[in-house]
Amino acid sequence: MMRIGLFPGTFDPVTFGHLDIIERALPLFDKLYIGIGINSNKQPMFAAETRIQWLNELFKNEEKVEALIYEGLTVDCCRKIDANYIIRGIRYVNDFEYEKAIADMNRSLDENIETVFLTCLPKYTSVASTLVRDVIKNGGDVSQFVPDSVLRTIRQRTNRNGIFA
């Protein structure tokens, strides 16, 4: 039986923290899907198609990785792609409490899908997409938090006054 994992998230934008979790999840699975979840209650900074392009560029040489966009329940996405595992990154203790509640709900919805928690490297604990978006909105330098493909997009969308558009 193939070990297929889904790493769900918004990836808005993709950060080095995300890449850390993906790279460390790769040896554990035969196939790893990166699922960009669409939440109608959230207005993303970057289009889902842009986020897919970043992920496809970043993992173009890794045949085990495939990025996709999904809407609705994560367990439904898992069923569609035959994933038995959900991968979640943990930075702090409060992340674990929040993620465990979601994992318990997912297990209640489908007992065949297990959640795997991976802790990020200490240097990435402060790298959250929400914080990175705040830095972008305020004209700060995010080059230490995001890969080059993401940085290029941000620079293309930043005007002469440093304002992100």
Q: Is 24 annotated as a binding residue?
A: no
Contact 11, 48 (CB under 8 A): no
Catalytic residue chosen out of the listed positions 42, 137, 152, 155: 42
127 carries a ligand binding annotation: yes
Q: Are 113 and 82 in contact (CB under 8 A)?
A: no
Q: Say if residue 130 carries a ligand binding annotation.
A: yes
Direct distance between the N- and C-terminal alpha carbons of the chain, in angstroms, rounded to an integer: 47
Task: Determine if residue 91 is labeled as part of a ligand binding site.
Answer: yes
To the question of whether residue 10 is assigned a binding role by annotation, the answer is yes
Collapse the DSSP code of 124 into the 3-class scheme (helix H, G, I; strand E, B; otherwise coil) and give the result. helix
Q: Which of 24, 31, 129, 157 is catalytic?
A: 129
Query: Is 100 tagged catalytic?
Result: no
Question: Could you confirm whether 60 is annotated as catalytic?
Answer: no
Q: Is 128 marked as a binding-site residue?
A: yes
91 is catalytic: yes
Annotated ligand binding at 99? The verdict is yes
The residue type of 26 is L
Distance of CA 93 to the CA centre of its chain: 19
Q: Is 80 a catalytic residue?
A: no
Residue 116 contacts residue 88 (beta carbons within 8 Å): yes
Say which DSSP state 6 is in: E
The verdict on whether residue 119 carries a ligand-binding annotation is: no
Q: Which residues are annotated as a binding site for ATP?
A: 10-11, 18, 89-91, 99, 124-130
Active site residues: 18, 42, 91, 129
Q: Which residues are annotated as a binding site for substrate?
A: 10, 42, 74, 88
Q: Which residues are annotated as a binding site?
A: 10-11, 18, 42, 74, 88-91, 99, 124-130
